[in-house]
Structure 1
Amino acid sequence: MTVSPIRKVFQGVADRRQMFAMFDRHAQRPDRRPDDGRSLYAGEWFEIGQAEHDYMFEVLPPVCLAVDMFAMREFLTRSVTSVFFTSWIDGRARYFHGYCDLADINSGRRMREAIVERESRPVRAMTRQERLEHIWSSTHDDYRGYAGERWPAPDRGKRTVMVYGGQHGSTSKLLDGLTDREISEKLPVHLRYLPDAIAA
């Protein structure tokens, strides 16, 4: 599974429990090794509250990258680590977590710019990919996973989620293959009817 561009992975402000759950959204990936997740994690970001931001600042002595931006000293994988941002958007301070690849010294700046651009849009909207990422982030580990040996070879390793199939019961389906109806059913009510955003 190859990803990597900067992408929002959760709608709304994550509380502490949600934040810790999203720190490792890909924990169940097959053949997990400590050095194999750079393309999965680098570029992911979501909003957190000030209390969560301040808590993470005090966990370990941080690596300060710039004004209102610090990184964790412990790396998730290779050169990818958690970076925490404070950004002023529409006249108020907001707080964000993102995974940046510090092998690229400009990755934090680019992520901050992408976050501010995305969160400064006047109309609340979500792209299809943001909807899928929110579903993945908010689905419990028991109901999401990765396509294994029983799947056709081209689909193996892709993300799957459980969907309710009516009389046929629940079944596992590729996340990227969810229909618009299935996506709507899996989103919380307050996100179901947001307009589609055009991906940047």
Structure 2
Amino acid sequence: MNTSPKIRKVFQGVATRQQMFRMFDRHAQRPDRWDGDASPRYAFEWFEITDAENDYMFEVLPSLWIRGSIFAMREYLTGSVTSVFFNLRIDGAIRHFHGYCDLSDNSSVEHMRVAIVDRESRPVRSMSQKERLEHIWSSTADDYRGYAGDRWPQRNRGHRTVVLYGGREGTFLKMLDDLTDDEISAKLPVHLRHLPSSIAA
């Protein structure tokens, strides 16, 4: 089965409860927060959570539906996008994941499930360039990330930015997608800096 190229892992490792709640609304600072449909920003994002957090979310609100080891939240985040929780057996172990699926597409949940299993079944730990950037965005505090505003060229407005430390030059903003390999390495936690790169996300 082909999965959408938009499906993306946004955090490396297993999220704590605090990290999970932060990532539920990773785009809270977006400039168009109260305008338009934010579905494209959230749909297809996923990350791993603990067994305890999965149980907590199952009990916190009535589910929209339960299909075997997968359940969806009744409250939609935006448009037809809602939280879907996956309990998947991968390499003999049960693991738990949160993903944002667009339920207007009947195949979105299955595409997400296949993509997660495929990504997490790889024998060697690795991170694609996209995954490195998404992890940086997910783990950077709100005070040090944002979106390009009116002071940026028109073509850059609305794109994600992060604060970098430039030594004697002090701190400065840079487009997330324009970070160099050295800047990406400096922003990643030490244990992730030397993971091999993967072509597929």
Q: TM-score, normalised by structure 1?
A: 0.96
Q: Distance in 1 between matches of 2:129 and 2:121?
A: 19
Q: Distance in 2 between matches of 1:184 and 1:90?
A: 29
Contact 1:147 1:155 in 2 (8 A): yes
Q: CA shift at 1:34, angstroms?
A: 6.7
In the alignment, is residue 26 of structure 1 matched against residue 27 of structure 2? yes
- Relative distance call for 1:48 and 1:143 in structure 2 (3 A) is same
Q: Secondary structure at the match of 2:163?
A: strand
Q: Distance in 2 between matches of 1:105 and 1:140?
A: 35
Q: How many corresponding residue pairs?
A: 197
Q: Partner letter of residue 190 of structure 2?
A: V
- Relative distance call for 1:57 and 1:34 in structure 2 (3 A) is farther
Partner of 1:51: 52
Q: Secondary structure at the match of 1:171?
A: strand
Q: Partner letter of residue 92 of structure 1?
A: A
In the alignment, is residue 113 of structure 1 matched against residue 105 of structure 2? no
In the alignment, is residue 68 of structure 1 matched against residue 72 of structure 2? no
Q: CA shift at 1:36, angstroms?
A: 1.6
In the alignment, is residue 194 of structure 1 matched against residue 195 of structure 2? yes
Q: Distance in 1 between matches of 2:197 and 2:38?
A: 29
Runs of 4+ in 1 over 6 A off after TM superposition: none
Which segments of 5 or more consecutive residues in structure 2 lack a partner in the other structure?
A: none
Partner of 1:9: 10
Map 1:69-108 onto structure 2 (within 5 A). 69-108=70-109
Q: Distance in 2 between matches of 1:164 and 1:35?
A: 34
In the alignment, is residue 149 of structure 1 matched against residue 117 of structure 2? no
- Alignment root-mean-square deviation, CA: 1.1
Q: CA shift at 1:35, angstroms?
A: 5.0
Q: CA shift at 1:143, angstroms?
A: 0.2
Q: CA shift at 1:33, angstroms?
A: 2.4
State the identity as a percent: 68
Q: CA shift at 1:32, angstroms?
A: 1.1
Q: Partner letter of residue 86 of structure 1?
A: N
Q: CA shift at 1:192, angstroms?
A: 0.1
Q: Partner letter of residue 163 of structure 1?
A: L
Q: Secondary structure at the match of 1:9?
A: strand
Map 1:158-197 onto structure 2 (within 5 A). 158-197=159-198
Contact 1:30 1:146 in 2 (8 A): yes
